[in-house]
Structure 1
Amino acid sequence: MLPKDPYEGELSASPVGYIVYGPDGRLVSFNERIGELFPGFIHNDMIGKTREEVRDILRTYEPAAVKALNRLDEISDLSAEDGIFEFGKGRYCALDDLALPDGSTLTLIRDLSEKKRSLDSIARMERALSELANEEAIYDGTKERAYLIMTEVAGKALMATRTDVWLMNVDRTSLYPQESYWSPTGEHMELERLDKEVNPALFEMLAAGEPICVPNVKAVDFLKGVRSGDGREQDIKSILIVPIMRGPRVVGAIAAAEETYEREWRQSEIAFVSYLCDLILRMLEAHDRRVAEEGLRGFNEMLEMKVKKRTRDLEEAMETLKLAQEELVRSEKMASLGGLVAGVAHEINTPLGVALTSITHMAEVFEGFKRMVDTGRIKKSDLTNFMETTDEGTTVVRRNLERAAHLVRSFKMVAVDQSADDTREIDVGDYINEIVDSLVPTLRKKGVKVEAEAGGKLMMKTVPGDLSHILTNLIMNAALHGFSDRPDFDDKQIKVTAQAGKKDVIIEVMDNGRGIPEDIREKIFEPFFTTARSTGGSGLGLNIVYNTVYHKLGGSIEVGDAEGGGTRFTIKLPLENRKTAQRQKERAE
């Protein structure tokens, strides 16, 4: 039976254990909480014992922090600042002495066991995060190593029986176990796949994107079907499942399970597992990036081999064109030239197509001229027209073959290969007109009208060949794809404008075609993205344009809607290309 409370019940109901010593230093009262903290304390004859005798009794609660308790002999008044004392296994308390007005001393004993466990848990998790921060497998995307380390570290930090990593398939119908660590044995075990048709409730809860905390698994039925690799259903008492989210989409989950007791999961533990989910997502992104880089590197090597071969083919084609200018009488050279041009990559079809169209026209003129010679009805005006046509045609051929050779060099821009082209000052308006004029024959054949307009005299120091490639690509892209859904449309228009900005030149390429859907606009500059794969599109044209504008000319390019429908590309280029000038300076040094 408890002694009478000298304070008339004011303290007896306190959730904190207390002991009251009289002015003479002997125990006069304590509450029931003391009995809960120290079983057997109530049954001892404690009334009248001195503080030293009480301390000796406290020492009997083994295993105690003996070294810490021995400090009690050196302390007259206790304070929580003296530290937390362990009384029995896992029981931690703080002791505080308070002087009362009548000369008595009140010793408060607060149970900090849960707080101590929480602090220990946080310390373990901090050590775990520090260990993971130095784990290269997470940041270089080595999945097997990352899963193994993360489950081990998480299992030890959470002191959970089992820690799993699961990934969900694309159609979200199954969870596939990646790794499972069992703390009692220190082994990594195999689990079976978990299907939505067996456990739809679990998949619905994961799709909500919120952590799933289950202190008592037997009280719920949505965890059925979780089995180990040997087919044994898991005997789980408590579980914490945190989904791995990529935006609004669940891609997997981390699970921490306890098989020995029902467990309440702390917010700090939930936050810890949530951070692990972020690490796994980061690791998966690093893995995907590494795989993509390896694939791109292999593709670039193959592409470079093809570029070298096609460069040789182009050189042969250019030599053939040179001979064709001198010997137009041999029409079979035209067929050979056409075959060579058709074999060159999609990205150089535009300039070679212009050259082929021009030469074909000259061949027709030549055949007509030859017939007049054979019949003896040739006139001086016929010879003059023939020479003018031949001169105009050969000029167009030469200009576009030079452009084709430049495109082959630019083809390597997929890997942002910097070109060694020289920089010079040009009149933007005149240069755009020259580009448009060279494309008129091809565009006229497609029923497309092109117009160039420049606001005054605009001088710019840049790489002319790159500007020609950019505008040619955009104009031909508009002609080829902008009107593909309405071939009979008789008002196909493309307009190229240039005007001066504060420190740059703004060039716009607009068409009145079908436009580009908003859902793919962000992708059109990505390498290998194309909506015309079935018709031979490679998906590299706009990516090369993007890299040329940004990385080589130091400008920017945006895509939007043109007034009245269609597409508008807006290019901003600096008046002086410092990037190319700097590269030329470095090469000279």
Structure 2
Amino acid sequence: MLSLSMDPVLDSGDKALAEQALLQRCVDGLEIARASIWLYDEKRNAIRCQQICPAQQAATELPALTRQQFPRYFAELDKKRVIKAVDARADNATFEFTEPYLIPQDIWSMLDVPLRYQGEVIGIICCEEIARYKHWTDEDAGFVGVLSDLYGRILAAAERQRYQQQLEHANERLESLVRERTANLQKTLDQLRQTQQHLIESEKMASLGNLVAGIAHEVNTPVGIGLTGISHCSYLLSALADSVRAGILGKTQLEQTLAELQHSTALVERNLHRAAELIRQFKQSAVDQSHYELHQFAIDDYIQAVLQTLLPFCRQHEVQLELDLNSGLVLHSYPGAIAQVLTNLVTNACIHAFEPPQAVERARIRVATQALSDGRLLLQLTDNGCGIPRDHLPRIFEPFFTTRRGRGGTGLGLSIVYNIVQKNLGGELTVASKPGIGTRFSLKLGSSSPES
């Protein structure tokens, strides 16, 4: 599940490829013959197969299942609950499929889990066992339920790519039509802004997805150490109990066992505290970035907490974070907006500043704060990467300007940063860069913010 959540194919916009990756994890995780994705039609009177794994049979070759043909099955789907049919040919929800579907496909057991997107059930993930019965457990249903949640990321990425293609096409056409369609220009621009806002929201969720994957990987280490420590404690207690029952327990063995137990429990406690702190930091950062709310907070402490959640992403790109937080300011502003700005600037630097890859000791990002004489904050983020070419520098804040077209770049990261600084924080954002030396982003902001 962790490898799937970190797989970039989920956010690539290639819906068919991402669906295959998700279904393959389902087949491997449950050790079943096949799995498929079925979606409702517009009137919700039929479901059609969109993707099947293994892809030995095309999804289009499977018949559509209609409400008129299978009323009992659709009645169960309408309840929006999991269908666990160990004997699919006798189960009340699925027996209608026996002649037209189960026997021709040699299917014996079915597990259907609802697919939800934007609060609505849009279809099911169907897990099927061939030639034998499969006794589905609650753990099986829970596993497929998590996969169904990840399917929302696939749809969001496909929708984001579709919006992006539509906007790029519209921008190209505007350049040629602007002189002859002046009267319609304002209406078209309004539509573009609305669509762009949807795309920005999707991009924010994608960045939170990267954060989730990094934190999950980071939490795995202290949790693993904790499990090892607990197992060792269990072994020591078992050995101690054996000695007591055998009547051979001596003072030396007792003292050694107690010492090892104290050491192991201390180790477990430290690592569980570490895992809890990582989860707390991630939860706060994710909530802040999802909902901008006005708060009073110590900016240096908050920046340090946000950067802690970005450490796994930086380590993944072999980039070292250096902090020099000495402003001492308390701001009345939007911490979520500041967290989004920091996240985008740091991830943007990790991806772009050190390509082609630099030596590990050179890959550094320095984040510094200081109080200005007018009471405002100066926040600077400096990297020692490849720098920005002079002809690109005036365009880096433009929507869709990217040097990574076709390699996952959307050209929205710095545009989002600029909009947040201007619109939500009422601040000033500038950039200075020298090719081969590095880049510095400077942000000035105070406690007042123009919009809620």
Structure number with larger C-alpha Rg: 1
Bigger RCO (CA 8 Å, 6+ sep): 2
TM-score, with structure 2 as normaliser? 0.49
Q: Greater helix share, 1 or 2?
A: 2
TM-score, with structure 1 as normaliser? 0.39
